[in-house]
Amino acid sequence: MRKLFLSSLLISTLIGVLITIQACQPNVSIETAQYAVNGQKLYTTHCQNCHGAKGEGLGQLYPPLTDSIFLNKHRSQLACIVKNGMKGSIEVSGKKFDNEMPGIPQLNNVEIAYILTYVTTTFGNSTTTYTQEEVAKNIASCD
C-alpha cells in the first residue's frame, strides 16, 4: 500500500515537473532556453534601462522590442545594432523613432547571441537560438 502511494506520488511529481517545463518554454530547445536565461542577465545590465523590463520601450524616446515583424525583418542587422549602435529614423510598432542608440562594443559574439536569443524569443515570436555563428556572420557585414 505504502509502496503504491509512494510510486504514484513520484509519477505525479514527474508529470508536474514536465508540465511546468513545457509551460515555461513552449517549443524551444534546451539550448535556446539556456541562451535566453544568460541573455536576460545581460539584457538587464545593458538594455533594460531604456527598453524596459518587458521590452516595452518608453514613449517615442526608446522603441519597444516587442514588434515581431520588425525583429524578423531586420534579424540580420540586430547584431550590428547591439554592437555598434544605431542612427537615423526607424519605424517600430507604428511609431517613429529618431534618437541615437549607443552601441556596446565590448560585448563579444556569444554575449550578443545570448541577448538576441532572449529578445527574439521572449519579446518576439522566434523559437530558435540566435547562434554565435549567426552573430559572427552578421557582424562581418555591418555597414
124: its cell numbers: 518576439
Helix (H, G, I), strand (E, B) or coil at 96: strand
**Residues within window 7-66 making contact with another protein, judged by CB under 8 A:** 48-50, 52, 58-62
Residue 28 or residue 115: which is nearer to another protein going by CB?
A: 115
Please identify which residue in the block is written with the cell numbers 545594432: 81
Residue 48 or residue 132: which is nearer to another protein going by CB?
A: 48
**d(C-alpha 45, C-alpha 107), whole Å:** 12
**Residues within window 93-122 making contact with another protein, judged by CB under 8 A:** 99-100, 102
92: its cell numbers: 517600430
The nearest distance, CB 103 to another protein, in angstroms, is 11
- Site size toward another protein (CB under 8 A) is 12
106: its cell numbers: 565590448
Query: DSSP string of 76-97?
Result: GGHHHHHHHEE-S-EEETTEEE
The nearest distance, CB 29 to another protein, in angstroms, is 33
The nearest distance, CB 63 to another protein, in angstroms, is 11
Site residues (vs another protein, CB under 8 A): 48-50, 52, 58-62, 99-100, 102
